[in-house]
């Protein structure tokens, strides 16, 4: 129970279906700096109001230590290494499923449920090979991309009540059933960053290390304050002024070199890559190689046709039929067979021109 409309309606639907339902509010970040960017107190109040209306018990648990050790430490390590991490995917694996399932087991519950937009089938067959995780009916809200790193054994213990629902219908249901948070704005971004400027937050944990900005030919174009403040594909905030002999067109970040150099280009085609390598693989269905399937390298991207093979070092080699814009090491690639999420992995390298 996050305090939002999705988890609230998920709980209400399960009660309608006859389940014995209790709620869990997780606190995953300690706001030790005295700021108001994380809304844990207000979220808890909203969750309590919903549970009182539905007649549910609400438990609270503080997983801040586990979050710091298993998610945030990795987040900082990846940025220091010049990569762009995705803590939401790691949080789902380490906290919202692993810790949640362990806590529920201590209360005697064999199942958990979340407000994620995803569908599952095969729970009632009693045989592992029947379980599948499918895209949500609401394609604009489908969140299977963020579930790719969660082990199959954990996903099998989770119910997804909103998988067949459209978001607008979830809000309508909440309003009709008197849930006060029916029009609450969806949360975006990472809780520990909140609404503050990302650069200001990151500067509290990572020392600035200025370095040169070069184009693909190695020509100097200025200086950057630190590679962690940039992502591949970025065109805003690079702060390159007029360059003699160059057109007045935008610059794009196309890579980060090992010598602390930011690589940029005015040609957006330089962001296109045909392949990537990935590790930390999580398969929800045992594959046969070469695997012809679809993939996403970012949330809400349309499915991209690809071929996946296994390299000698155990990493995956993913080749795309069409070039992909701004493949980013540190991010994740999710694999699909039509509607079914079949696995995912963490991107290590790609063929961007750096």
* Residues involved in catalysis: 91, 191
- Beta bridge partners, 213, equal 222, 262
Neighbouring-strand partners of residue 212:
223
Q: CB neighbours of 157 closer than 8 A, spacing ≥ 6?
A: 101, 110, 111, 112
C-alpha atoms less than 13 angstroms from C-alpha of 286 in its C-beta half-sphere: 3
Residue with tokens 């509607």: 339
Rounded Cα distance between 196 and 210, Å, is 22
Structure tokens at 122: 């095969």
Tokens of 90: 């790691």
H-state helical runs in 122-181 = 152-155, 167-176
For 110, the token pair is 């064999």
Q: What is the dihedral of CA 196, 198, 199, 202, to 10 degrees?
A: 100
């Amino acid at each position: 129970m996050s305090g939002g409309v999705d988890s609230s309606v998920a709980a209400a639907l399960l009660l309608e279906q006859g389940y014995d339902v209790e709620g869990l509010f997780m606190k995953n970040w300690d706001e030790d700096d005295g700021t108001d960017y994380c809304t844990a107190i207000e979220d808890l109040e909203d969750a309590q109001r919903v549970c009182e209306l539905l007649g549910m018990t609400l438990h609270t648990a503080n997983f801040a230590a586990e979050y710091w050790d298993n998610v945030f430490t990795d987040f900082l390590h990846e940025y220091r290494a010049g990569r762009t991490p995705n803590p939401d995917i790691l949080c789902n694996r380490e906290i919202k499923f692993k810790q949640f399932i362990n806590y529920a087991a201590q209360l005697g519950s064999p199942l958990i449920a979340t407000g994620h937009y995803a569908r599952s089938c095969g729970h009632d067959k009693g045989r592992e090979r029947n379980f599948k995780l499918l895209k949500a009916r609401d394609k604009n809200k489908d969140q299977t991309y963020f579930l790719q790193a969660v082990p199959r054994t954990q996903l099998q213990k989770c119910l997804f009540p909103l998988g067949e629902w459209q978001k607008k219908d979830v809000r309508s249901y909440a309003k009709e059933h008197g849930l006060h948070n029916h029009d609450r704005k969806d949360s975006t971004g990472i809780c520990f960053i909140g609404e503050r400027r990302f650069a200001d937050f990151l500067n509290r944990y990572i020392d600035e290390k200025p370095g040169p900005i070069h184009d693909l030919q190695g020509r100097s174009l200025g200086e950057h304050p630190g590679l962690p403040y940039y992502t591949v594909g970025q065109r805003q905030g690079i702060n390159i002024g007029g360059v003699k002999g160059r057109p007045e067109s935008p610059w794009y970040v196309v890579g980060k070199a090992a010598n602390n150099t930011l690589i940029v280009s005015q040609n957006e085609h330089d962001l296109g890559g045909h392949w990537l390598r990935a590790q930390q693989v999580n398969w929800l269905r045992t594959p046969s190689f070469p695997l012809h399937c679809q993939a996403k390298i970012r949330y809400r991207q349309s499915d991209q046709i690809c071929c996946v093979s296994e390299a000698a070092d155990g990493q995956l080699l993913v080749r795309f039929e069409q070039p992909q814009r701004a493949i980013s090491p540190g991010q994740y690639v999710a694999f699909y067979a039509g509607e079914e999420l079949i696995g995912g992995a963490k991107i290590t390298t790609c063929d961007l021109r750096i």
